[in-house]
Amino acid sequence: MEILQPPDWARPRGYSNGIAASGRLVFVSGMIGWDGQGVFHTDDFAGQVRQTLANIVAVLAEAKARPEHIVRMTWYVVDKAEYVAAYKEIGVVYRELIGSHFPAMTAVQVAALIEDRAKVEIEVTAVVPE
């Protein structure tokens, strides 16, 4: 995996501008903050991020992939202000579950998610080296 960072650009914080990788592709659909049985345990934004990331790690494990194989993440949030206000807590949860690996990321605010109680949905692409 190669981090793509033009030499004259400022380093991004918490994500990479781009990644080049080769290997087995793993695509994880949009995960939300409920458990494996479809039950929400919190309405706290950072709490839902924790569960969402845990769900992603669990699905990756089924492909014998780990968080460091993630090359792209797309975050869909219902409330940008709530997302920004939770940056610190999200950072703690992210480092706990994903580590200090920062793939290419996009975050967008959406009008709503399909599950009314969901505050965040994250989809992931990973590349497992062969």
Encode pLDDT of 7-34 as tens digits: 999 999 889 999 999 999 999 999 999 9
Whether pLDDT at 105 is above 90: yes
Six-digit token pair at 87? 């940056």
The whole-model pTM stands at: 0.94
pLDDT digits (tens, 9 = 90+) for 50-97: 999 999 999 999 999 999 999 999 999 999 999 999 999 999 999 999
Give me the pLDDT at residue 77, please: 98
